[in-house]
């Protein structure tokens, strides 16, 4: 029946924290707070504006969200791996001194995805998907209908096929210095496809009524 406000300023958390908010309790984390991977999601959920949450060991994540006004720091010698079916959403800030291992990044939603296929499938309100490493996944990539997606190969290679359904617009380009990212899969196009730059190993297959525009590459 009591109401407690707990303010944690800096330090290291070696366990989880909780607060029965239904009872009016509240926990606030500020300053530089170190935490183990097991507790990162919970610690971030209680972090207040200005907090810097520092990951102290490697993590292969479940879904993690960094709140607005909060910084997540990945120190040297620490690796944060975004696993195949998961995402890292950064509404606040990300400070990477160590390693962030993710497949792709959606600019508008500040979302890191574990696979390129998921980045495109779960793009939500995003538009620009940037590849962050070679994509060796073979699961077919299929954007949902009525999406307008820009894929930046960013100097990396894609192995999977892609299906552009009717009503969907897909633009593929490579903004890296050498523009030598390669799309090795076959693109089956029933919508609108634009190729701007990059290397395409296979000629796209266009269905009747589809549109393909080649501007470069």
Predicted confidence at residue 101, as pLDDT, reads: 97
Q: State whether residue 186 is helix, strand or coil.
A: coil
Closest Cα partner for 120 from 68, 172, 49, 67? 172
Tell me what pLDDT residue 1 has.
Answer: 47
Tens digit of each residue's pLDDT (9 = 90 or more) over 90-127: 999 999 999 999 999 999 999 999 999 999 998 888 89
- DSSP structural state of residue 143: P
Q: Residue written as tokens 């944060």?
A: 80
Asked if 154 contacts 174 with a C-beta cutoff of 8 angstroms, the reply is: yes
* Upper half-sphere CA count for residue 84 (Cβ side, 13 Å): 5
Query: Average pLDDT over the chain, rounded to whole?
Result: 91
Residue 161 in this model has a pLDDT that exceeds 80 = yes
Q: For residue range 68-98, what is the model confidence (pLDDT) as tens digits? A: 999 999 999 999 999 988 999 999 999 999 9
Task: Give, in order, the Cα–Cα distances in Å from 116 to each of 3, 76, 97, 158.
Answer: 46, 26, 24, 9
pTM above 0.95, yes or no: no
Model confidence at 23, pLDDT cuts 50, 70, 90, reads low
Predicted confidence (pLDDT) at residue 20 exceeds the cutoff of 70: no
């Amino acid at each position: 029946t009591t109401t407690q406000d707990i303010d944690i300023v800096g330090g290291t958390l070696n366990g989880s924290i909780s607060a029965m908010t239904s009872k009016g309790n509240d926990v606030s984390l500020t300053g530089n707070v170190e935490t183990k991977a097991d507790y990162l999601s919970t610690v971030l959920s209680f972090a207040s504006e200005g907090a810097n949450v520092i990951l102290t060991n490697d993590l292969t994540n479940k879904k993690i969200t960094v709140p607005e006004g909060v910084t997540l720091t990945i120190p040297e010698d620490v690796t944060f791996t975004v696993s195949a079916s998961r995402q890292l959403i950064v509404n606040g800030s990300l400070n990477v001194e160590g390693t962030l291992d993710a497949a792709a990044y959606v600019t508008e939603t500040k979302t890191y995805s574990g696979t390129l296929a998921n980045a495109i499938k779960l793009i939500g309100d995003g538009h620009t998907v940037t590849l962050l490493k070679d994509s060796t996944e073979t699961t077919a990539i299929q954007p949902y209908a009525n999406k307008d997606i820009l894929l930046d190969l960013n100097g990396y290679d894609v192995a999977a096929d892609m299906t552009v359904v009717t009503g969907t617009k897909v633009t593929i380009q490579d903004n890296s210095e050498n523009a030598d990212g390669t799309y090795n899969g076959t693109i089956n196009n029933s919508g609108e496809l634009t190729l701007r730059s990059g290397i395409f190993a296979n000629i796209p297959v266009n269905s009747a009524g589809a549109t393909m525009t080649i501007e470069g590459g």
